[in-house]
C-alpha cells in the first residue's frame, strides 16, 4: 500500500517538471526559428522595417502602429516613410515633416551583434543625405 502511494506521489511530482521542460524547449525552438528567419531576410537584402514606437528625446513614447510608418529596403531601391521628431538645421525645408524619400541605396554594410543586426547604408537625394 505504501509503495503504491509512493509511486503515485513520484508520478505527480514528475509530471509538472516534464511539462515545464517541454514548454521551455518549445520557447527555445521558436527563438531559433525567429533568428533563422531574420538571418535569411538580412542575407537576401530585401526586408521591410515597420515602426511601432518612437522614443523622442525629452518626451514620452509615441505609438506609431496606427500610422503605418515603414522603411522598405531592396538592393535597387529604398522607400522610407518615417516621422521626424527634432529640429532641422541648415535651412532645409522639411515639407511634410518626416523622413520620406524614394532613392537608390549607396554602400551597404551589415554587422551582427548579440541582440540582432546593425544595417548601414547611405542614400543621397538632390537636396539631402539620409
User: Over its length of 130 residues, how does the chain's per-residue pLDDT go in tens digits?
Assistant: 566 666 566 655 666 665 565 666 677 888 888 888 888 888 888 888 888 888 888 778 888 888 888 889 888 898 988 887 776 666 555 555 678 888 888 888 888 888 888 888 888 877 777 7
- 91: Cβ contacts below 8 Å, ≥ 6 apart: none
What is the pTM for the complete model shown? 0.61
CA 103, CA 122: separation in Å to the nearest integer? 10
pLDDT at res. 124: 82
pLDDT confidence of residue 108: 82
CA 54 to chain centroid:
13
What span, in angstroms and rounded, lies between the C-alpha atoms of 32 and 125?
Answer: 39
Rounded Cα distance, 62 and 42, in Å: 27
**Residue 82 bridge partners (DSSP):** 99
pLDDT given for residue 125 in this prediction:
79
Amino acid at each position: 500500500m505504501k509503495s503504491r502511494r509512493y509511486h503515485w506521489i513520484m508520478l505527480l511530482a514528475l509530471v509538472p517538471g516534464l511539462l515545464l521542460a517541454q514548454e521551455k524547449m518549445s520557447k527555445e525552438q521558436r527563438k531559433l526559428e525567429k533568428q533563422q528567419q531574420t538571418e535569411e531576410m538580412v542575407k537576401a537584402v530585401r526586408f521591410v522595417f515597420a515602426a511601432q514606437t518612437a522614443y523622442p528625446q525629452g518626451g514620452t513614447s509615441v505609438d506609431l502602429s496606427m500610422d503605418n510608418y515603414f522603411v522598405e529596403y531592396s538592393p535597387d531601391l529604398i522607400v522610407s516613410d518615417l516621422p521626424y521628431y527634432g529640429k532641422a538645421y541648415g535651412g532645409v525645408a522639411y515639407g511634410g515633416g518626416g523622413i520620406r524619400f524614394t532613392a537608390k541605396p549607396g554602400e551597404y554594410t551589415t554587422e551582427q551583434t548579440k541582440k540582432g543586426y546593425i544595417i548601414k547604408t547611405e542614400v543621397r537625394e538632390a537636396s539631402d543625405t539620409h
